[in-house]
Structure 1
Amino acid sequence: MRLFLFVKKMKKIERFVVSAYQTNCYVLYQDQEALIVDPGARAERMIASIDEKQASVSGIVLTHGHLDHIGAVDDLAAHYGCPVYISEADMPLLTNPRLNESAGGREIIIKTKPRAIPYGKASIGSFNVEFIDAPGHTAGCVMMLWDENLFAGDVLFKGSIGRTDLATGSNSQMVNTLNEIKKMSVDYQVFPGHGDATTLFEEFAHNPYLN
């Protein structure tokens, strides 16, 4: 399934729901450039859509290193020759099936050498974004702001939050991250790693972990 979720002038967000985990992969478009977020599987679907638009890919951003968010990285990076960004703390998950939760199944070992996410405001191609350190679900979870759109990975869901009992997860770190989210004063559109989009103020009002 793919959906266009946001259109503003020459900016657009396309969502792909992939794998048995129903992971949200997002492709952001700005003019003829694309930025891919959390490609968990089905690289061919994203390639077909991006190439249909004749867009160039500026990079791949990973909010964290779990199998359902990284499975299509190598195919996409090879096809587009683009850089892959992940937090330094989550880099070990890319090559360790036990840490990325793929051990015992189709083990995922990413061969593409990643770049460390630069926290704070950054530019990837023509995309001006801001990376927010948000550990808890994993030690290196990040969220990414693009305009007033918050790509939350598995930190914040509609009505819930990411689990903290997997490898490198931490309940105390998640509590700290949620406390930082509570300080946000902008009603961002929230695009989570699973499930429906929401807004930050909607979560302040109804998410039991934020009120």
Structure 2
Amino acid sequence: MLPREEIATAKIPGGDTLTLISHGRDHIIMLGRDELMGTRMQYSEEQLARLTLERLGTPKPRVLIGGYGMGFTYRAALEKLPEGGSVTVAEVVPEILEWAEGPLAHLTAESLKDPRGEIVLADVAALVDDAVDGTTPRYDAILMDVDNGPDGIVRDGNERLYTRTGIARMRDALNIGGLIAIWSAAPDHKFTGRLKDAGLKVDVRTVRARPNNKGPHHTIWFAQRVR
């Protein structure tokens, strides 16, 4: 059996400790004793971006992603991004970006140098607020991959993202026809109800963690602003 080797650690502001682990050719980011993400199960995070952009059909979409992680969602968004579009990623842990340029550089390809993308050290909620308040333009899509879902909070304070108020803020940060897409490790029927109560058109998809139709099932909510 291949041993696991600890490469680095990082503290989540207001949260637990992240640990970057190597396991043979694979890498894993641990949250405490739990696997938060890994290179063997990235498909559903890639689908978060691909399925969102397929549904948009918007010319030159402006996309916001909450959480960089290992960059799976970000790279997939750049791959599917129509000409003239842009992607902004909000990440609160500086070490995550150091890992992306260091031990995980083989995963980033050229995405960190792509002029269509920008990674900023910021709380995604703050960027949402800027769009709502008119400080920045509204988005065509907001992709959330900052937690394990509405009931799997990684960082203290992220609970607000999944409340009625948080959902309303994301909705108001969108252009008409825009989408909120939220990744979760598990389904949550109450959260589906909150999205619908916000006047959003909701579709819930179940996606496997691996492209060979294996691994755990993950949930993605697609919630469209229709007015």
TM-score normalised to structure 2 length:
0.38
Q: Which has the higher contact order (CA 8 A, sep 6+)?
A: 2
Larger radius of gyration: 2
